[in-house]
């Protein structure tokens, strides 16, 4: 791998190496992005098995689309866009199968056993609040807050204007505050 001579090759260098046929570069990209994507998909889906499946499918699509990658492009928006497309598609299929809110609520939230009960309850409450957001707002919160992406990049990933993303984010944060108002007041 050409990039291996450096201490830490960039994502784009790894992707270039992978496009040139270096399988080790694909493995490194997976190690970098899989944990990020798994957290993202778990937050959205609250189902470990489906979250893992979507992470694998994201990389499967990345593998199929590797010859579209152009030198100078940024890899992160690529990966995030593929993942968010898959998450959206999953929600759409869920909706089609008429999965009720009740069924979603009864799914096990991804919570670790080591978490204190209070933290677990607070986490479940916030998950519930996030789930009540429209998908378009939830994905903006995911990318803007949790992934720390700037609005311009979020807009690129979700396929809308920066202004629309700002509006969605503002509405989402306002709704979340309203939903968690008592808790937030308690914190302050």
Partner 1 sequence: MTSASDRPDDGLGERLRELDAAGVPETGPLFDEMFSELKARCDESDRTLAGFLRSRSTAARRMIVLSIFVFLGLVGWFAFPLIAAEGRSVQWTASLIAFCILLVLAMFMVTRPVHLPALPRWQSLCLICVAVGATIVAAFWPIPAALAATTHNHGGGFMAGACMGVGLLLGVPVYALLRLVDRGNALGNLVAAAAAGVAGNFVLKAHCSIAGTSHELLGHASVALVFVLGLGLVHRWIPSK
164 binds partner 1, rule: CB under 8 A: no
Identified binder of partner 1 from the candidate list 22, 78, 137, 168, rule CB under 8 A: 78
Among 4, 11, 50, 85, binds partner 1 (CB under 8 A): 85
CA 152/CA 156 separation, integer angstroms:
6
3-state SS of the chain is CHHHHCCCCCHHHHHHHHHCCCHHHHHHHHHHHHHHHHHHHHHHHCCHHHHHHHHHHHHHHHHHCHHHCCCCCCHHHHHHHHHHHHHHHHHHHHHHCCCCHHHHHCCCCCCCCCCCHHHHHHHHHHHHHHHCCCHHHHHHHHHHHHCCCCHHHHHHHHCCCHHHHHHHHHHHHHHHHHHCHHHHHHHC
Q: Does 157 bind partner 1 (CB under 8 A)?
A: yes
Residue 21 binding partner 1, by CB under 8 A: no
Residue 150 binds partner 1 (CB under 8 A): yes
CB nearer partner 1, residue 2 or residue 65: 65
Residues 31-60 that bind partner 1 (CB under 8 A): 31, 34-35, 38-39, 42-43, 48, 52, 55-56, 59-60
- List contacts with partner 1 (CB under 8 A): 23, 26-27, 30-31, 34-35, 38-39, 42-43, 48, 52, 55-56, 59-61, 63-68, 77-78, 81-82, 84-85, 88-89, 92-93, 110-112, 115, 119-120, 122-123, 126-127, 141, 144-146, 148-151, 157-160, 169, 173, 176-177, 180, 183-185, 187-188
């Amino acid at each position: 791998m050409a990039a291996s001579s450096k201490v830490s090759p960039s994502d784009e260098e790894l992707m270039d190496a992978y496009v040139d046929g270096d399988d080790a570069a694909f493995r490194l990209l997976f190690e970098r992005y899989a944990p990020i994507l798994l957290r993202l998909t778990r937050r959205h889906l609250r189902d470990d098995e489906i979250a893992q499946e979507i992470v694998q499918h994201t990389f499967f699509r990345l593998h199929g689309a590797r010859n579209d990658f152009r030198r100078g492009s940024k890899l992160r928006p690529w990966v995030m866009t593929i993942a968010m497309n898959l998450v959206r598609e999953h929600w759409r299929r869920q909706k089609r199968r008429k999965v009720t809110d009740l069924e979603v609520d009864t799914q096990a939230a991804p919570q670790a056993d080591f978490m204190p009960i209070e933290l677990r309850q607070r986490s479940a409450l916030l998950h519930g609040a996030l789930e009540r957001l429209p998908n378009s707002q939830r994905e903006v919160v995911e990318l803007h807050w949790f992934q720390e992406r700037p609005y311009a990049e979020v807009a690129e990933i979700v396929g809308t204007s920066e202004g629309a993303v700002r509006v969605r984010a503002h509405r989402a944060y306002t709704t979340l505050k309203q939903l968690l108002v008592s808790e937030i007041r308690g914190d302050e």
